[in-house]
Structures are given as structure tokens and as C-alpha cells.
Structure 1
Amino acid sequence: MEPSRKRSTRDSNLKKRLATAAVGIPAVLSLAYVGGVYWTAFIVLVAGVGMHELLTMARPKGYRPSPGLAYLVLLFLLAGFGGSGWFLPGYFEPGLLGLIALSGVLLLLGFPRCSLVDLSLAWMGALYLGIFLSYGVLIERELSHPFFALLMVFGITWASDTGAYLAGRLLGKHKLAPMISPNKTWEGALGGFCLSMLVAAGIGCLSFSPGLGLVLGAAGSICAQVGDLVLSAMKRHFGVKDSGQIIPGHGGVLDRFDSFMWVLPVVYYFFKGG
């Protein structure tokens, strides 16, 4: 592609990203503020669409993970770990046993078309999304100031992403993980790390000491960047650029919430222990 066309495409994508962010950020923050069933429904929606994207990415490579099993395990884990009300206490262990038994039956009845790899992909996707995103429900249900905690999650996530992007564009020279994500650099990672610390200290200054905010921001940024690289490794394995196209200028749901998922448990345990 010619340099002028590359620049035009990049500018067009940037405009789409900014327009989507201008609408999406207030909408998501509003859901976090309202909380309750609306926030829980949002988390379930993110998990469900993310599961769909994982299954879709896998199919061109010849994998056939069972969508029915994947969604069933996903909802079970969101309910079991998130404690979403309709999950009855004491039924987690037998429910888990039942799902594992169902997986065995699917392997038996579908053999040889249904493989262990297909079942493993369904379980891995459900475990990954279900357990990480359940902390979004736990924050809203168990913490005394859930919106403040969720604001911290979003602040750290967005600061890490923005700081890494800007520092990488301006200063990036040393590749961070060239086999997984060639555009990421150590300079970008440091930029995201530093900006997350500053944002976390700024958001938390009215509730706890700046020192604790710096620690939370550092831990959150490390996890955010690991989450980003994990999805990059998945996409590299499946041979795709984006997890989906549902969000204009941003790709798929997983592309936008890969870091957010990893920051959720960090913030949850920080406030839970404090």
C-alpha cells in the first residue's frame, strides 16, 4: 500500500476509534454507575459476545468447538463465581461434575468428528471469560463503593492502553514480544505502566494514600498488558488481525476488553482486602 493510502487509512481508523469512544465510554460508565441488573447484563453480554468471537476465530483453522457446551459452561461459571442470585449455593460441585460428564458424552457420541481439542477450546474459552469477567459482577455485588472500584478498573485499563500507544509511537524502539505482537515495544509498555500509576493515584487520592494508588496502578498495568498480549497470542494462533468487527474502529469485543478482564480481579482484591 502506498504511504499516502496508508496514512489515509490510519486517519480514517483513528476517527472511527475516537467517535466510538465518545459514545461508548459514557454509555459504559453510565451502566457501571447504575449497577444492579443492568451492569450484570452488560458483563454477561460481553462474555457471550466474546465467546462467540473465540468460537468464530477457531473455525477457519478447522476446529469445531461445541457452542452449546461453551455457552453452558460460560453461564455456569459466571453464575457460580459471580454469585448472580439465580445460582443456588451448594450446587456448584455437582453442576461442574455434570458439565464434565456432558463433555465426555459429547466426545463419545461425536467421535471421531468431535475431538479432545474441540472440547478443550470450548472449556478454555468459557473458563477464561467466565472466571475473569465474574469479577465484574463481584465488584458490583460485594464492594461497598462499586462504582468507584469500577472507575478505577476503567481508569487503569484506559491509561495503560493510551500510555502504551503514545509512548510506543513516540519513543518505541525495542520490541516487547515480536513473535506475538510486532508493534508493541518496551518503551510503550513503560509508558502505559507510568500513566496507569498516575491515574490510579489520582482517582484514589480521596480514598487512600497516593502510595497505594501507585502500587495499584503498577499491578493493574502489568496485568492489563499481559491480558492484551494473551489475546494477541490467541489471534496469532488463529491467524486473524482482530477478534471481530462489532465495534467500529476497535475490532471486536475481546479487542476492547482483553485488558479490562485482567484488571478486574486486581482491583477487586485490592478493595476487598482494604
Structure 2
Amino acid sequence: MFITRLISGVIVLAIAVAAMLLGGNILFAFVALISMIGLFELYRASGIEKKGPAIAGYIGALLYEMLLWAAVSEGELMAAAVGTLLIMAVYVFSFPKYKVNEIFCAVAGLAYVVVLMSFIYKVRMLNDGLYIIPLIFICAWGNDTCAYCVGMLIGKHKMFPRLSPKKSVEGFIGGIAGAVLLGLIYGRIFGTHLISLSVPMRDCAIIAGVGALIAVVGDLAASAIKRDTGIKDYGRLIPGHGGILDRFDSILFTAPVVYILAVCLGA
């Protein structure tokens, strides 16, 4: 099991890194693909993946991706609005076929998966985006790794025993501290390439720390959804890891945070 998890994790990381380095249409296609798969996984977890609200959600997601790629001014906002209207239209014209929780899940899926995931592409499109985008993964996976190590070594106090029994307060603190340290190191090494940031080392540390904090929320949010829907994993696409949402749950939250902070700190 460990070997399978390790190999599949390395493959996913290699694909993600290659897409980030190439950028442009390659990265866009990668982000669009995992967004659509993630949306399907969320809808399947809620039992609506083949129902009318989900179909409308898929159409809204495709429209969002098209306008994002075309760089239409305020296109993504318009696409999200159209997707929501389509889902509500299905609700109204088929009433009372679908329950309100199915409708809200279909709408939330657009924001939670498609919109948040698109910030990976948006970060790459920033000035210095090639060097800013790794911060997304430092925030998420760096924090997760450091939290795991610290938690295994000295973790004693459970943070959210009902939601995530293995997470400890010590691991949480260690994960944030580790991410900040990784951010500092990253800023020190690549600072000359991060000319859009005011003070690269400081700004990278801030982005990593805040991003790591939000990454924990992203991880717990995905766990909460799985517990509410009674599933262990979102899918089996990535052997040993589960589905796209199992591997990118915290990325969904760190990507927009990195984008917002990079823009604000570079102002």
C-alpha cells in the first residue's frame, strides 16, 4: 500500500510540476480537467452526479472554463452567475422533483471546486507566476508534511477528534511553523526572481503562513463533507490517495489565498 501510494503520489506531483512549468494552455487544460473530475466527485458523493442540477452544473463549469481561457473581462463571474441560474431553472421547472439540498450542492460545487481550482491557473498568469505558483504547494503539502511529522513525534492533544482524529494541536502548530520556514527558505533562494513582491523573504513567509492556516480549513472541509456523505474517499483515480478532491482538498483553499496575497503584497 505504501509503495502504491508513493508511486502514484510521485506521478501526480510530476504531472503537476510539468504543467506548472509549461504554463499557458497546458496548465489551463490540466486545471480544467481536474476541476471537472473534482466537480463530478463532489456531485457523486452527494448522489446527484447524473441528475438535472448536476448537468446544469457541468454546463456552468464548462462555460466558466471557456471564459477563463478566453480571458473575457468579468467572464468568470458571468459564467458562475449563468451556471447558478441554470441550476435554479432546473429546480423551478422540475419542481418538486429535486430537494433544496441537491440544488444547493450543485451551486456550491461550482464555487467550491471549479472557481477555487481556477486560481492555480490565475496564479501562474501573474507576473513572476512561475516562481509564485510553488507557494501554493508549499502552503498545502509543506504544511501537511510538517504537521504529520510533528504530530507523529510529539502530538498529544487532539484538535478535532470528531472530524479528524489524527490531527493534533502540536501537529497544527508544527505545520504552520514548518510552512513559514519553507516560505523563508524559498524566498531566500528565489527572491531575485520574485521582483513583483516588495520583500520576497518576508512576503513568502507571510504567504506560506497564512496559506498553511487556510490549508487546514480546506483539509477539514473535505473531511467534513466525506463524513456527512458517509464516504471514505472521493474516488479511486489516484491509487493510495483516492480521488482528485482527496489530493487537492487543501490546494482548493491555498490557491486563492496565494493569489490574493501575492497581488496585495506586490501592490
Name the TM tier (shorter chain).
Answer: 0.7 to 0.9
Deviations 1:98-137 (A, max 9, x none): 5444334312332222222211110011111122112112
1:254 has 2:242 as partner: no
Residue 69 of structure 2 corresponds to: 84
Q: Which amino acid aligns with 1:160?
A: N
Structure 1 pair 261–194 and aligned structure 2 pair: CA distance change class (3 A): same
Residue 211 of structure 2 corresponds to: 220
Residue 187 of structure 1 corresponds to: 170
Separation of aligned partners in 1, 2:94 and 2:59: 18
Structure 1 pair 65–186 and aligned structure 2 pair: CA distance change class (3 A): farther
User: CA shift at 1:222, angstroms?
Assistant: 0.2
Separation of aligned partners in 1, 2:107 and 2:30: 22
Q: Which ranges in structure 2 are unaligned for 5 or more consecutive residues?
A: 192-198
Residue 123 of structure 2 corresponds to: 139
Separation of aligned partners in 1, 2:40 and 2:138: 27
Residue 20 of structure 1 corresponds to: 8
Q: Report 1:235-246 matches (<5 A).
A: 235-246=226-237
Structure 1 pair 133–110 and aligned structure 2 pair: CA distance change class (3 A): same
Residue 29 of structure 1 corresponds to: 17
Structure 1 pair 88–116 and aligned structure 2 pair: CA distance change class (3 A): same
**SS of corresponding position for 1:111:** coil
Q: Report 1:96-245 matches (<5 A).
A: 98-141=82-125, 143-205=126-188, 206-207=190-191, 208-245=199-236
Structure 1 pair 101–177 and aligned structure 2 pair: CA distance change class (3 A): same
User: CA shift at 1:63, angstroms?
Assistant: 10
Structure 1 pair 94–74 and aligned structure 2 pair: CA distance change class (3 A): closer
Q: Which amino acid aligns with 1:178?
A: P
Separation of aligned partners in 1, 2:51 and 2:89: 16
RMSD: 2.4
1:66 has 2:53 as partner: yes
Q: Which amino acid aligns with 1:113?
A: K
Q: Which ranges in structure 1 are unaligned for 5 or more consecutive residues?
A: 1-11
CA contact (8 A) 1:227 1:261 kept: yes
CA contact (8 A) 2:36 2:114 kept: no
**SS of corresponding position for 1:84:** helix
Q: Which amino acid aligns with 1:110?
A: S
Structure 1 pair 54–174 and aligned structure 2 pair: CA distance change class (3 A): same
**SS of corresponding position for 1:204:** helix
Alignment size in residue pairs: 257
Deviations 1:173-206 (A, max 9, x none): 1111122111111111112111111111111113
Separation of aligned partners in 2, 1:197 and 1:17: 27
Structure 1 pair 264–113 and aligned structure 2 pair: CA distance change class (3 A): same
Separation of aligned partners in 2, 1:92 and 1:217: 27
**SS of corresponding position for 2:238:** coil
211-220 vs 246-255, greater mean Cα deviation: 211-220
Question: What percent identity do the matched residue pairs reach?
Answer: 28
Residue 42 of structure 1 corresponds to: 30
TM-score by length of 1: 0.85
TM-score by length of 2: 0.87
